[in-house]
Amino acid sequence: MSGSKVVKARGFRWHGVAVKEYKPGADHFRGVTRQTLLGEGPGEEALDFLTRYFEVLPGGFSSLELHRHPHAVVVVRGRGEVVLGGETFAVEPFDCVYVAPETAHQFRAAGEEPLGFLCMVHRTRDRPRPAS
């Protein structure tokens, strides 16, 4: 099989993949966790990207930030909003979001269910910077 694999999911959690704090030691977000599904595991060094799952609890939000690298995001659970630059857009399952480089962005959960989304980024990327 040469390193290929399937990572099984149950209830928006993936078997054998640690649920991690969104940004350890930071306080400019609320109620966010992440799982890196592909790109950090053994045998995945050939991937030029990471596939991550973020979950934002009801009333929670990610940090408002920007950086030089782009993101590709697919919402898979719940409803919420994404801030892109100076605009805010409603998002729901199967909406796709492109976050262009140097665009301030933030994800916010709305409603009673967590907002869950898959996020793909380049393996080597710059660190986020706070946006105002």
DSSP result, 26-49? --S-EEEEEEEEESSSTT-TT-SE
Locus of tokens 């907002």: 115
Neighbour tally for 67: CB within 10 Å = 19
Query: What is the spatial distance between Cα 109 and Cα 64, in angstroms, rounded to a whole number?
Result: 14
Cα–Cα separations (whole angstroms), residue 97 to 21, 91, 100: 23, 9, 9
Query: What is the spatial distance between Cα 37 and Cα 104, in angstroms, rounded to a whole number?
Result: 25
Active-site residue list = 119
